[in-house]
């Protein structure tokens, strides 16, 4: 059954399909120069797929990938939140190395007019493939920043990170973007405003009291100015969040806003149409396509053809519509039997929802480094190269996509920086039987939260957790009151000695081991502490892209397709241009 969760979490589903597919009038490319398609979606639980045990949600196209390919059972996201994990996915590096791991409480970008973002110095796989002659496109969600100093410098924009074409949103899909689905900010802002009003009220009563008894003379004009300034600030805050969807939820084509605010009507069909058209425009040259769905993150949405069709309400409808879109691309790849085009199809599913209906199977802990927040499904298919029906229970990471794609495209890995990911192909082809990841480091924002150790020639996978989030309510398994679990201060509990689990025997992390239960307890901790020391030495100070200064809304960075006085409204998308698409 699908569960209701109100925690912020990130989950990442990887499908890698390398297939012999067909498109007419296409030049063949050898295996070192294949076309690359990456499909990404937000907020899909590991237990929401038929191939991972769900019996009530229909995902036949995704399930087919599992049947005909390889299933990774220990695929790990570099972060439980979207912004840092996407940075890791694109660069093959821990987010802490690029400044995309926050020292503040907020770990993702929330406003289009923030100045932080993926630094231009970072090398993405899209940049390297573009250098190899690939045509590159990102369709859908970006969430890695846009501008730095002006509303049109586009320093963090996808087109500045190796993509030739962009059609999508630059921030994220929040409930605030769709009328009637509530607000992510309501609880936090409401509590802050309530506290502020209480403080102001107490202060004013106290000042009036001391003034009346003659203890201290307070100029009433000064009090009036204070009240006026406070009222103006509160009105500005109310205006901003009331107009959040106009200012932050918009659709772009390259550098131009084409729909503000974003319309959810037939959105997945529009994204799918753009993907199909991009493939059609690039049949004579290798291409990289990243299709980053807004499904199934809140605000939940689905096209009319899918509304009410699943057994799990709007969330289930959205999952099944996304599966339909995957099927459309698979059909396109297999529809023309007269060509030898080598295709790679990858899908990365990030999950960072506020409230959604999903399940992560036996794992728990959303938006955290418990296994439910970072262990994610992975399906890989390559006909004739990767054996169908295989399960690999070795630690892999979303950072591995970077070196895998780079090597398949015949490009060279950067030699001037540390790449934390590893090429997956030797493991997938059975040339090696153990993952190259002996250690994986799990960060909660910029704070090292946990470490996974898979010793060579051992089946054990040890996991040490240095601190755990304080869930609210206390008897829950998430941070319902704040939507997301924070990483420092009173929001966490530190453990000395740290918690130790053997995931090969206790994947649910139910029983922490003790020296009495595990005879090598302190030896394991020592090895991991040495690994942490070596890892920490490899880090260098970089600008914090998620500092409060870089996170806050800056009016001079706000993009608007009309004017603020016209509520930033425009709609250049034409419903009539939508093609009739098959929904079978």
Homologous superfamily in CATH for domain 40-174+252-431+551-557: Alkaline Phosphatase, subunit A (3.40.720.10)
C-beta of residue 98 within 8 angstroms of C-beta of residue 91? yes
Cα 398 to Cα 88: distance, rounded to the nearest angstrom: 7
Q: Give me the residues of the chain with pLDDT under 70, please.
A: 1-32, 187-193, 196, 218, 220, 223, 333-361, 564-565, 574-584
Q: What is the pLDDT of residue 27?
A: 38
Q: 242: which 2 tokens?
A: 């009331």
- Among residues 5, 75, 143, 301, the one annotated as catalytic is 143
Cα 35 to Cα 32: distance, rounded to the nearest angstrom: 10
Phi, psi of 35 (to 5 degrees): -75, 150
Q: What is the pLDDT of residue 62?
A: 86
Q: Which residues sit opposite 14 in a β-bridge?
A: 348, 378
Per the listing, tokens 């396509």 go with 289
Q: How far from 138 is each of 3, 227, 274, 402, 488, CA to CA, in Å?
A: 31, 48, 10, 16, 34
Q: Provide CB contacts within 8 A for 91, sequence distance 6+.
A: 97, 98, 118, 122, 123, 124, 399, 402
Q: 548: which 2 tokens?
A: 């409060």
Cα 40 to Cα 173: distance, rounded to the nearest angstrom: 14
DSSP string, 23-51: -TT-----TTS-EEEEEEEES--GGGSGG
| Burial class of residue 99 in the structure, from the number of CB atoms within 10 Å of its CB (0-12 exposed, 13-18 middle, 19+ buried) | buried
Written in H, E and C, the secondary structure of 108-177 is CCCCCCCCCCCCCCCCCHHHHHHHCCCEEEEEEECCCCCCCCCCCCCCCCHHHCCCCEEEEECCCCCHHH
- Whether 561 is a known active-site residue: answer no
Q: Provide CB contacts within 8 A for 285, sequence distance 6+.
A: 27, 133, 134, 135
Q: Which residues sit opposite 355 in a β-bridge?
A: none
Cα 460 to Cα 452: distance, rounded to the nearest angstrom: 10
Cα 319 to Cα 48: distance, rounded to the nearest angstrom: 8
Q: Provide CB contacts within 8 A for 568, sequence distance 6+.
A: 243, 246, 247, 250, 260, 261, 560, 561, 562
Which pLDDT tens digit goes with each residue over 319-365?
Answer: 999 999 988 988 876 654 333 334 455 444 444 333 345 566 677 77
Q: What is the pLDDT of residue 359?
A: 62
- Whether 570 is a known active-site residue: answer no
Q: Residue 337, Cα to own-chain centre: how many angstroms?
A: 36
Q: In what order do the strands lie in the sheet with 447-453?
A: 439-444, 447-453, 462-469, 492-502
Q: What is the pLDDT of residue 15?
A: 58
Per the listing, tokens 């030699």 go with 415
Q: What is the pLDDT of residue 204?
A: 72
Which pLDDT tens digit goes with each residue over 80-101?
Answer: 898 999 999 999 999 999 999 9
Q: What is the pLDDT of residue 573?
A: 84
This prediction has a pTM of 0.88
- Among residues 21, 82, 249, 485, the one annotated as catalytic is 82
The mean of the pLDDT values for the chain is 84
Q: What is the pLDDT of residue 21?
A: 41
């Amino acid at each position: 059954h699908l569960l209701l969760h109100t925690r912020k979490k990130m989950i990442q589903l990887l499908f890698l399909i390398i297939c012999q597919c067909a498109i007419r009038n296409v030049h063949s490319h050898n295996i070192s120069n294949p076309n690359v398609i990456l499909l990404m979606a937000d907020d899909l639980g590991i237990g929401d797929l038929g191939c991972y045990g769900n019996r009530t949600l229909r995902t036949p196209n995704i399930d087919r990938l599992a049947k005909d390919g390889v299933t990774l059972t220990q695929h790990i996201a570099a972060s439980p939140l979207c912004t840092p994990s996407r940075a890791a996915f694109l660069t093959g590096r821990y987010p802490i190395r690029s400044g995309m791991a926050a020292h503040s409480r907020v770990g993702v970008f929330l406003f289009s007019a923030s100045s932080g973002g993926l630094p231009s110095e970072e090398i993405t796989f899209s940049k390297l493939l573009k250098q190899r002659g690939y045509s590159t496109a990102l369709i859908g969600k970006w969430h890695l920043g846009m501008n730095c100093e002006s509303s049109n410098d586009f320093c963090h924009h996808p087109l500045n990170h190796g993509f030739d074409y962009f059609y999508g949103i630059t921030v994220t899909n929040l409930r605030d973007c769709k009328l009637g689905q509530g607000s992510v900010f309501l609880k936090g802002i409401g509590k802050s405003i309530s506290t502020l009003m209480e403080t102001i009220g107490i202060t004013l009563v106290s000042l009036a009291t001391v003034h009346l008894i003659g203890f201290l003379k307070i100029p009433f004009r000064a009090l009036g100015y204070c009240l006026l300034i406070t009222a103006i600030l509160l009105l500005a805050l109310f205006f901003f969040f009331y107009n959040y969807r106009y200012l932050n939820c918009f659709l772009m084509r390259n550098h131009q806003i084409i729909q503000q605010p974003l319309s959810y009507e037939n959105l997945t069909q529009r994204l799918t149409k753009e993907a199909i058209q991009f493939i059609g425009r690039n049949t004579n040259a290798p291409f990289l396509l990243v299709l980053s769905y807004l499904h199934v993150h809140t605000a939940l949405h689905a096209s009319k053809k899918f509304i009410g069709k699943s057994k799990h309400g709007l969330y289930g409808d959205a999952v099944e519509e996304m599966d339909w879109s995957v099927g459309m691309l698979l059909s396109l790849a297999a529809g023309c039997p007269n060509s030898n085009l080598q295709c790679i199809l990858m899908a990365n599913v990030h999950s960072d929802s506020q409230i959604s209906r999903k399940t992560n199977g036996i794992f728990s802990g959303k938006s955290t480094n418990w296994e439910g927040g970072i262990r994610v499904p992975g399906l890989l298919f390559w006909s004739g190269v990767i054996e169908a029906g295989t399960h690999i229970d070795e630690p892999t990471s979303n950072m591995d996509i970077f070196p895998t794609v780079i090597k398949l495209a015949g490009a060279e890995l950067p030699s001037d920086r540390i790449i934390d990911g590893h090429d997956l192909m030797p493991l997938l082809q059975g040339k090696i039987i153990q993952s190259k990841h002996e250690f994986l480091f799990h960060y909660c924002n910029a704070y090292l939260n946990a470490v996974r150790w898979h010793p060579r020639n051992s089946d054990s996978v040890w996991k040490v957790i240095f601190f755990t989030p304080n869930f609210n309510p206390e008897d829950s398994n998430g941070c319902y009151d704040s939507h997301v679990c924070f990483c420092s201060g009173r929001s966490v509990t530190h453990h000395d000695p740290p918690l130790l689990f053997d995931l090969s025997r206790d994947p649910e992390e139910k029983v922490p081991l003790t020296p009495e239960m595990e005879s090598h307890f302190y030896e394991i901790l020592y090895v991991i502490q040495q690994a942490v020391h070596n890892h920490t030495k490899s880090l260098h100070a970089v600008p914090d892209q998620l500092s409060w200064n870089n996170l806050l809304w800056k009016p001079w960075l706000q993009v608007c397709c009309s004017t603020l006085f016209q509520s930033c409204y425009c709609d250049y998308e034409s419903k009539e241009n939508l093609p009739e698409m098959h929904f079978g």
